[in-house]
Amino acid sequence: MSLKTAFTAAVTPECPLDALISKSQQWGFDGLALSDIQPEVAASLARHAAAIRTKLSDARQTLVAIASGARFGCLSERTMERRADQVRQTIQLAAALGCEFVIVGGDHLPDNTIRERAILQAASVLRELAREAGRQHVTLLLENGGDFASHRDIWSIWDSVSSPALRLCWNPLTGRPTGEVASTAITCLAASLSLVHMSDARFNGQAQPIEYTRLGEGELEIARCVNLLRGLCRSAWLCVHWPDNEDGAPGPAQRILPAAAEFLRAELDKPTVALSAYKDDKNAPRFVSRAPAEAESA
């Protein structure tokens, strides 16, 4: 069993990949994931792919995943093909950089959409994309999002695709409004899970985040997530994702990310404990013990 740590970052001219690799090593992560890559930046990364792979190797860092930005649901054929092309380009970039995973997501569905039809449509496109990814030695990761926000939604699509080149990425923050909890989601997804986005927050009565926090200081039970993953997953990446904006972020990256890496490492270094269906699970059913008199007469 191996759980490793990473963080998500955007590559920009102001913060090139070389600098991010150095920061990842400095902050104590095992690797990093990329998102929001603009076409001109992607072209530059492809041109310097050999040098980037050398830099990663020298720093003992892993480029874990690239977010394609493509989301799938019940869309027009033209829109679906455009997004599929977006994924294909990201697969090619990932293969050039030696990156194992490309992330895709679920989209919001139009009104009056038949949900089963949307799942079948997404599965059909992802099945073909998974074949292309497999040929490039890349794996697609389907992340919960949009109207496919719960772990059950992405598991249904993954099960329909049935390809070793498609696995799952779970974001507990996205799943929270659907009412799901770690003990249910991770148990269901463990065999198909390769990456978990790690962030924390406090929520209002409608399960919407009202304040983002440092890991372990919010209501997403991040320590419990790590404990469950240690017990149920053979390997997975714990990828810290934080809101990169002045209003929502719990602090600047140079302060938040090193603390997040330290928190995760401390959780991973804890002694392994036995897990049961109900141990320490506040969401588990509560059974009332019978009184001694009842027990004797039974």
Q: What mean pLDDT is predicted for residues 265-273?
A: 88
Among 171, 143, 146, smallest CA distance to 157 is for: 143
pLDDT reported for residue 111: 82
Calpha distance 123→278 (Å, rounded): 34
Determine the structural domain holding residue 111 and report its residue range: 2-297
CB contact set of 101 (below 8 Å; sequence gap of 6+) = 33, 64, 65, 66, 94, 138, 139, 140, 141, 167, 169, 194, 195
Integer angstrom CA distances of residue 178 from 75, 151, 174, 175, 205: 23, 9, 8, 6, 13
Report the SS3 class of residue 193.
strand
Express each pLDDT in 167-190 by its tens digit.
Answer: 999 999 999 999 998 999 999 999
pLDDT reported for residue 112: 81
50 pLDDT higher than 50: yes
**How many structural domains comprise the chain?**
1
Is residue 294 very low, low, confident or very high in pLDDT (cuts 50, 70, 90)?
A: very low
DSSP for 224-249, please give it. HHHHHHHHH-SEEEEEE----STTT-
296 pLDDT higher than 50: no
CATH number, domain of 219, equals 3.20.20.150
